[in-house]
A = this chain, B = another copy of it.
């Protein structure tokens, strides 16, 4: 929106991302207004925007809190991303330009290099490369406002950070290879291949983050026996 409100949005995002405010913490309006040097009005608007985006949740007369993602919700988010970004990968493959392909390949290769050194990566860099890669896919898909906003509402920085931190070395390298394979599928102009790998990529991230998931037919809580 306006320059002032938008800077507040970024400011609050930074505060949440940097861990100044953890999951479940309260975000007071006056407190933020003082911290960012503006009045309550733009702060209120920024909080509403971030709430609509899914990063905060607001309850009337009680204020804003950082959302606390339950495992069930994380599971749902990645299931949705598998569907939506799978679609994005398919469409991107149908429309991608050679320049975009080169850009994607560059990002995939750099991601590989950043994760190739074994444990002890530069997580910030890996995070950035990953976010760029997924964003460019959506962009290449001809991203109308709907696709873009749905993906944005699903890809919260906080979740991504948490995800990367829980990745072990195997999951990290697998994720990197997925990126490379997606580019290969797109170069082959094979939308179905690209879609499948992208879905697998996100479902594999879900598994790395949450472990195996129960399903209806499984025996009841075998882990407790």
Can you tell how many copies of this chain the complex includes?
2
Contacts A45-B48, A153-B153 known; A147 to B83 CB distance under 8 Å? no
Q: Which residues of B contact A150 (CB under 8 A)?
A: 80, 84, 150, 153-154
A100 to chain B, nearest CB (A): 16
Q: Which residues of B contact A3 (CB under 8 A)?
A: 60
Given contacts A54-B149, A72-B142, 10 further A-B contacts (CB under 8 A): A2-B61, A48-B49, A52-B52, A52-B53, A54-B145, A54-B146, A72-B144, A73-B144, A80-B150, A83-B83
Q: Tell whether A158 is near chain B: CB-to-CB under 8 Å.
A: no
Bound-state CA distance A147–B82 (Å) is: 13
Interface residues on A, range: 35 or more
Q: Which residues of B contact A94 (CB under 8 A)?
A: 216
Bound-state CA distance A48–B8 (Å) is: 15
Bound-state CA distance A142–B145 (Å) is: 27
- Chain A, interface SS category: helix
**Chain A interfacial positions (CB closer than 8 Å to B):** 1-3, 44-45, 48-49, 52-54, 58, 60-61, 67, 70, 72-73, 76-77, 79-80, 83-84, 86-87, 94, 142, 144-147, 149-150, 153-154, 216
Q: Which residue of B lies closest to A189 (CB)?
A: B216
Q: Tell me if A60 and B144 are in contact (CB < 8 A).
A: no
A66 to chain B, nearest CB (A): 14
Bound-state CA distance A77–B146 (Å) is: 6
Bound-state CA distance A44–B44 (Å) is: 11
Contacts A1-B60, A94-B216, A153-B153 known; A147 to B49 CB distance under 8 Å? no
